[in-house]
């Protein structure tokens, strides 16, 4: 059965490698190869006394990425338990089969390629340790894939209400931010980011599952074969435990969680745009996927700007509003996808496409602009200096305008298939589809669209010219309005001309 499920997953990937799937896959491959290059460079360029610490940190980041990645960008297993509910398989057999199917994809392959840094490290220590590295590496990849699916399934058991969906985003936002800003903690502990990894931190990392392959390689180089056998047995046992936990989590009802909101009585929208705006604002307060990812963006940004306070750096604080809008757009650019086949209601109403797009834009602006402005003002006051104020004021109008435009543009041009809200299980992690590539696409697109304002800000900062730096503000205002209108206009045209095709992709 494992072979059958693997072939099914392969056929699904091969037949769906078009349009959005192709774009997200290519983006994921590029990002994964870039991370692989960084991993290899750290391992090869670090000195003999620092290579082990660098590898421990990078492998810990792999573990963190595999665990929290599906919570950030959604998971797209291709094969789900719901698809096989009538197949006579035990939960353990189903877990083993789904694990085999999960190995078919870009993520495991890129991780395996990045894992060659472990082989390089073994070669530097002792050629006799290379076979051990080649043995523990695939076991480690198996463990990462299994743990990822266990975490997605277990978190889904908790994400069954609006409050829990928001609360569960808090640890994920903090953990992902630590992966990006972990150097701050090291700098706070050691006195500088250039210092080698302290021994007590390295020892703790060796105790984590991500450090076991490094422990096995170092033990093989020393000739401690008993420890090598213990590590290999530990990896195999951890995989077995993960499969057992996954099997337990597979044995559960599949009924969707019902979220009931308060009824709005007495409210009559004056226009169609106002009606869509009101509907969207209510949806943002009910949809578990939207709640989870918007909370994730908020927690990530707050952690990102507050963590440098450990080393007395406050320059990030005024940029909190800009960062929040940027990550909120990247995490939530799937509005039509999360609505599913409800799009047919819009298509059957003559001329409703414009109201749909403009209403969604205004609702998102009402949702993110107030907290973004509040964070910008509070951050500027806390920072206490005026050096970052031109950056914050000069970029916030642009990211708000470009963000509302990109939000609907990506939603209709790069749709991803998500189960209809009434057909979803209780796991937004697995129902969130595979739009991690879209997240990266949106982040890169926003950086490119902000290029004119960034050029003025950078040039003004280098030349110490306040006039150039403040000139970015009117440029951002004009660009923000133009991009919000222009990208929204493209989305309206796309929805009007290709609405049935979009509906077929979402169905």
Structural domain spans, the chain? 2-250, 272-506
Cβ atoms of 352 and 272 within 8 Å: the answer is yes
pLDDT given for residue 408 in this prediction: 92
Buried b (16+ CB within 10 A) or exposed e, 311-334: eeebebbbbbbbbbbbbbbbbbbb
Tell me which residue of 251, 61, 161 sits closest to 169, measured CA to CA.
Answer: 161
pLDDT tens figures, 348-396: 888 888 999 999 999 999 999 999 999 999 999 999 888 899 999 999 9
Rounded to two decimals, the pTM is 0.65
Task: Return the SS3 of 76.
Answer: coil
pLDDT given for residue 421 in this prediction: 65
Angle subtended by helix axes 320-332 and 288-306, to nearest 10: 150
pLDDT given for residue 188 in this prediction: 54
pLDDT tens figures, 403-415: 999 999 999 988 8
pLDDT given for residue 487 in this prediction: 94
Q: How many helical (H) and strand (E) elements, i.e. helices and strands, does the chain have?
A: 22, 0
pLDDT given for residue 318 in this prediction: 93
pLDDT given for residue 192 in this prediction: 46
Low-confidence ranges of the chain (pLDDT < 70): 1-2, 12-13, 15-25, 27-28, 31-32, 35, 38-39, 42-50, 68-86, 88, 155-168, 171-172, 175, 179-201, 252-267, 419-436, 507
């Amino acid at each position: 059965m494992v072979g059958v499920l693997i072939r099914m997953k392969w056929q699904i990937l091969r037949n769906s490698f078009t349009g959005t799937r192709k774009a997200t896959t290519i983006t994921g491959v590029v990002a994964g190869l870039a991370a692989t290059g960084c991993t290899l460079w750290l391992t090869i360029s670090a000195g003999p006394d620092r290579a082990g610490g660098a590898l421990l940190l990078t492998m810990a980041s792999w573990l963190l990425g595999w665990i929290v990645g599906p919570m950030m960008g959604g998971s797209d297993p291709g094969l789900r338990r719901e698809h096989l509910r009538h197949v006579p398989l035990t939960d353990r057999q189903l877990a083993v089969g789904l694990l085999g199917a999960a190995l078919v994809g870009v993520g495991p392959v890129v991780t395996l390629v990045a894992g060659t840094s472990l082989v390089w490290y073994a070669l530097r220590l002792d050629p006799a340790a290379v076979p051990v590295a080649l043995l523990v590496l695939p076991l480690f990849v198996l463990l990462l894939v299994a743990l990822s699916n266990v975490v997605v399934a277990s978190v889904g058991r908790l994400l069954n209400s609006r409050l829990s969906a928001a609360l569960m985003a808090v640890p994920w936002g903090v953990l992902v931010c630590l992966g990006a800003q972990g150097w701050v903690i090291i700098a706070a502990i050691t006195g500088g980011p250039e210092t080698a990894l302290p021994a007590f931190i390295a020892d703790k990392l060796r105790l984590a599952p991500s450090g076991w392959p490094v422990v096995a390689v170092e033990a093989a180089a020393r000739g401690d074969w008993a420890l090598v056998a213990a590590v290999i047995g530990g990896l195999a046992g951890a995989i077995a435990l993960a499969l057992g936990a996954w099997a337990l989590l597979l044995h559960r009802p599949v009924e969707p969680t019902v979220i009931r909101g308060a009824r709005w009585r007495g409210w009559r929208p004056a226009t169609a745009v106002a009606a869509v705006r009101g509907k969207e604002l209510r949806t943002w307060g009910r949809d578990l996927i939207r709640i989870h990812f918007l909370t994730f963006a908020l927690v990530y940004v707050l952690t990102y700007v507050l963590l440098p306070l450990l080393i007395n750096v406050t320059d990030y604080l005024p940029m909190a509003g800009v960062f929040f809008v940027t990550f909120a757009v990247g995490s939530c650019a799937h509005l039509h996808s999360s609505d599913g086949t409800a799009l047919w209601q819009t298509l059957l109403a003559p001329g409703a496409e414009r109201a749909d797009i403009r209403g969604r834009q205004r609702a998102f602006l009402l949702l993110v602009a107030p907290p973004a402005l509040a964070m910008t003002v509070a951050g500027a006051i806390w920072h206490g200096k005026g050096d970052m104020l031109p950056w914050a004021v000069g970029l916030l109008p642009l990211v708000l305008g470009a963000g509302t435009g990109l939000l609907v543009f990506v939603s209709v041009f790069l749709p991803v298939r998500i189960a209809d809200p009434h057909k979803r299980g209780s796991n937004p992690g697995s129902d969130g589809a595979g739009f991690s590539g879209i997240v990266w696409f949106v982040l890169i697109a926003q950086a490119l669209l902000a290029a004119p304002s960034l050029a003025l800000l950078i040039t003004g900062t280098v030349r110490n010219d306040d006039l150039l730096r403040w000139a970015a503000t009117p440029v951002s205002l004009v660009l923000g309005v133009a991009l919000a209108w222009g990208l929204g206009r493209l989305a309206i045209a796309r929805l009007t001309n290709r609405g049935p095709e979009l509906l077929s992709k979402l169905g």
